[in-house]
A and B are shown apart, each in its own frame.
Chain A
Amino acid sequence: DTAVSQTPKYLVTQMGNDKSIKCEQNLGHDTMYWYKQDSKKFLKIMFSYNNKELIINETVPNRFSPKSPDKAHLNLHINSLELGDSAVYFCASSQGVGERTGELFFGEGSRLTVL
């Protein structure tokens, strides 16, 4: 019974295509995140949603559009894929109050390869 699940785990696609990665958490958490880990292994925050509202939006190209239909889901849609988008994308969730917001539960990652 996976706490934070992402689909697909692997995604290989051509430049210029549009793709989506889905994330679901069954922990009852209020806050969800998307992180990107590039080939150099740096893990960077992209977005954060609290109760379906965007609260963190780092400098990410507007080709990336997160969507949160409810607080248990945070999907990532990417338009016009570029080579530099190749990375592992991690979804995470946390409780929405105080210091516990720093206890993130991560999914297993979705490895995106753009050819």
Chain B
Amino acid sequence: DAKTTQPTSMDCAEGRAANLPCNHSTISGNEYVYWYRQIHSQGPQYIIHGLKNNETNEMASLIITEDRKSSTLILPHATLRDTAVYYCIVRVGNSGYALNFGKGTSLLVTP
């Protein structure tokens, strides 16, 4: 699986958009980009994933660059409950491949 690079930590004001970047410059053509988050003391939570097109769901938007070497997770209106560690993971879309979590980005949403 391609490695990812994320900032260690970020801050965001409540109500503003949180833009979390991820670099995955060695991504292969058959690898998807998955985003998860882990709120303190809870199990990780799936957010969104994509291959090359931008994706949006009720939680977030995922913007993938045309060369697929980086992506950005956007939380459009961050709330205090969005404070968590966010993980960007690239992985082949097949059950035979593990979802390997890195260090992630610790996002702090402030009042």
Contact A101 B94 (CB under 8 A): yes
Task: Please tell me if B96 contacts chain A, counting CB pairs below 8 Å.
Answer: yes
Closest partner residue, chain A, to B33 (CB atom): A102
One of A12-20, A37-45, A75-83 at the interface: A37-45
Among the interface residues B44, B51, B87, which one has the most CB atoms of the partner chain A within 10 A?
Answer: B44
Task: Please tell me if B43 contacts chain A, counting CB pairs below 8 Å.
Answer: yes
Task: Please tell me if B93 contacts chain A, counting CB pairs below 8 Å.
Answer: yes
In the assembled complex, the Cα of A68 lies from the Cα of B65 at a distance in Å of: 41
Contact B96 A90 (CB under 8 A): no
Q: Quick one: given A98-B93, A99-B93, are A106 and B45 in contact (CB under 8 Å)? A: yes
Contact B96 A55 (CB under 8 A): yes
- List the A side residues contacting B43 at CB < 8 Å: 4, 90, 92, 106-109
Closest partner residue, chain B, to A91 (CB atom): B43
Task: Please tell me if A94 contacts chain B, counting CB pairs below 8 Å.
Answer: yes
Contact A96 B49 (CB under 8 A): no
In the assembled complex, the Cα of A92 lies from the Cα of B97 at a distance in Å of: 14
Task: Please tell me if A31 contacts chain B, counting CB pairs below 8 Å.
Answer: yes
Task: Report the interface size for chain A: residues with CB under 8 A from the other chain.
Answer: 32
Q: Quick one: given A45-B98, A48-B98, are A102 and B32 in contact (CB under 8 Å)? A: yes
Task: Please tell me if B85 contacts chain A, counting CB pairs below 8 Å.
Answer: yes
Across chains A and B, the number of contacting residue pairs, with CB separation under 8 Å, is 68
Closest partner residue, chain A, to B98 (CB atom): A45
Contact B42 A102 (CB under 8 A): no
In the assembled complex, the Cα of A104 lies from the Cα of B101 at a distance in Å of: 12
Task: Please tell me if A58 contacts chain B, counting CB pairs below 8 Å.
Answer: yes
- List the B side residues contacting A4 at CB < 8 Å: 43
B100 CB → nearest A CB, Å: 7
A-B contact pairs, 11 of them (CB 8 A): A43-B101, A55-B95, A56-B97, A90-B43, A99-B49, A101-B95, A102-B89, A102-B91, A102-B99, A105-B46, A106-B43
Partner-B contacts on A (CB < 8 A): 4, 30-31, 33, 35, 41-45, 48, 50, 55-56, 58, 90, 92, 94, 96-109
Partner-A contacts on B (CB < 8 A): 32, 34, 36, 38, 41-46, 49, 51, 85, 87, 89, 91, 93-101, 103
